[in-house]
Amino acid sequence: MAIFYYSSANRVFCDSDWFYDDLIGADFDNYDNKGGYRVLYFESFDAESYSREEQLALHIPFQEEEKFPIVDTELAMIPSLTKQILLTDSVEFEQTFGTGKYEFDGFDPYDEKYEEMLGFGTQLGGYPSFTQADPREYLNDGKQHDLLLFQLDSCYGSGQDWEFMWGDAGIGNFFISPEDLKAKKFENAWYNWDCS
């Protein structure tokens, strides 16, 4: 079970190159390379990290470049506690049931009755979802035990005046070790994104 600090703030920042990189700051060969993103922790909302003017100034040298933004505005997340069923194709499923969901006897992951319970969506904690595969399955450096810190899913076309878009309707996942989460060492969080 993950411990989250709701009275504090986690913010995900990107350097100015992130918007102009079709990998969106990720390094799929080295998840410890945080050159294109940062997850920062603040004890309170009182201090301003970057003013709006300072944030905009970071983009001035790149104004004529092709952009790959995920989010086209600033948004706040208002969490609510919900229950989630473990139906995702994740290391948690294999750890719990001893097999992947596609090999699980008597379970058809393509059955429409499970569609609403698959875990896609934006969330803090819980079971992650992927459009491709859980990257933790292929890692042998301890990251296979890391927890989902934050998941930002693509969201578009539902009448809002904003959207999130990871490539072609993908999903981004930020992970952290249980020890780092407890110690509030968010600088060690890492991320992956994939799309269909």
Cα dist. 189→76, 105, 146, 154 in Å?
20, 35, 9, 21
pLDDT digits (tens, 9 = 90+) for 39-88: 777 777 676 666 778 766 765 655 565 555 666 666 677 777 877 878 77
- What proportion of the chain, given as a percentage, has pLDDT over 90? 8
Residues 6+ apart with CB under 8 A from 175: 128, 136, 143, 146, 147, 148, 149, 189, 190, 191, 192
Q: Report pTM.
A: 0.77
Cα dist. 178→4, 33, 52, 130, 148 in Å?
11, 20, 33, 21, 10
Is the pLDDT score of 195 beyond 50? yes
pLDDT digits (tens, 9 = 90+) for 3-22: 454 445 555 554 444 444 66
Rounded CA gap, 117 and 97, in Å?
17
